[in-house]
Amino acid sequence: MSDAYLQLDKLTLAYGDTVAVKDLDLSIARGELVALLGPSGCGKTTTMRAIAGLLNPASGRINLDGADITRVSANKRAVGLVFQSYALFPHLTVYENVAFGLRLKGLRGQDLDSKVNAGIRSVGLAKFAGRKPGELSGGQQQRVALARSMVMEPKVLLLDEPLSNLDARLRLEMRAELQRVQKETGVTMIFVTHDQAEALALADRIIVMLNGGIEQIGTPEEIYNNPISSFVADFVGFENVFALKDGKLATANGAIALSTPAPDVAAGLAWRPRAVILGSGPFQGTVRGTSFAGNSREYLLDSALGPIKAEVDAALPQHELGSTIAFDLPVDAAANLKRFG
């Protein structure tokens, strides 16, 4: 990106002799909300630690707002960090937790009070300023950690698995809260997550990482609808993923032709369960599992292609365990994969 605010150039990160991230190139614009998404060990948290100044690169550069910060100490690079554990001081009130970093910078008196109260109000906790972390819910503690970082006016705010400690209802609330704070303040925000639903719901752009490198970069819509590799497809919910061999599906039972020709340029095809057509088609499957999911019903089929996962409206007649169903994998409903394996 030509308007890069944060730029990682050929960044290599290692723990001793073990290379965790190699030759990583990444550009992030001012004011973006970006997700680093991937499984454990893919390098996302290591990359975040390097941006924060908690890990020195083996090679490469980190530039922020036109300045090289590769060797700048963590406390001088204007990067905020919200930890997964929140790292609040249990013996201090909300006010004192938020004020802590500002006091270290020498802020006192009315200036301190004004900035701390504004930070607490920004996350909706004005009524809780005198409480201690143990008297707050998990979501409220997360908001305190966010306010504590935001009052330092960071150029970049980093969040490590910010919602993983919250229950499902609080996760939804905090997603909205993070988006609101980010949009209102315009801070450049990067969050690390292994949860694809969280990344899709929050981010302007998603960087999918694998084995210390970038597998795909795109908007949530691009990642969700057009994965470029079998790994990304599987990671974002395409549960029926096949390599192609001479235009046919490569399966344990050999190459099997589809009802219509596969694209010549694709290395593989992937279907979400909802895209599988049940009740008609050239293939046969035996129902080995079924589950009710509210508005839909999910099926696991044994077939010559291997296991197939399908999803249909719950209002349709139910297929019993052990029954045989015709099905189809329509090519026009598949994601075309450029890389497989």
Q: Which two tokens stand for residue 277?
A: 């057509």
Instruction: Tell me the residue type at 43.
Output: G
pLDDT at 1: 44
Q: Rounded CA gap, 173 and 161, in Å?
A: 15
- At the second CATH level, the architecture of 232-337 is Beta Barrel (2.40)
Give the domain 4-231 fold: Rossmann fold (3.40.50)
Beta-strand runs (E) in 152-247: 156-160, 188-193, 205-210, 213-218, 240-245
Q: Which two tokens stand for residue 250?
A: 């490569």
Task: Give tens-digit pLDDT for 183-213.
Answer: 888 999 999 999 998 999 999 999 999 999 9
pLDDT at 174: 78
Q: Rounded CA gap, 28 and 190, in Å?
A: 9
pLDDT confidence of 163, banded at 50, 70, 90? confident
Task: Give tens-digit pLDDT for 62-71.
Answer: 999 999 999 9
Task: Give tens-digit pLDDT for 26-60.
Answer: 999 999 999 999 999 999 999 999 999 999 999 99
pLDDT confidence of 173, banded at 50, 70, 90? confident
pLDDT at 223: 97
**Average of pLDDT values for 20-24?**
97
Can you give the residue ranges of every domain in the chain? 4-231, 232-337
Q: Rounded CA gap, 238 and 232, in Å?
A: 9
Q: Please list, in sequence order, all residues whose beta carbon lies within 8 angstroms of the beta carbon of residue 3, skipping any fewer than 6 positions away.
A: 29, 30
The percent of residues above 90 in pLDDT, for the chain, comes to 78
Task: Give tens-digit pLDDT for 312-340.
Answer: 999 999 999 999 999 999 999 999 999 99
**Average of pLDDT values for 228-236?**
95
Q: Rounded CA gap, 289 and 20, in Å?
A: 39
Q: Which two tokens stand for residue 170?
A: 């609080």
Average pLDDT for the chain? 93
Task: Give tens-digit pLDDT for 289-312.
Answer: 999 999 999 999 999 999 999 999
**Average of pLDDT values for 239-265?**
93
If one compares 167 and 203, the residue with the highest pLDDT of the two is 203
pLDDT confidence of 85, banded at 50, 70, 90? confident
pLDDT at 313: 96
pLDDT at 208: 97
Q: Which two tokens stand for residue 330?
A: 């329509």
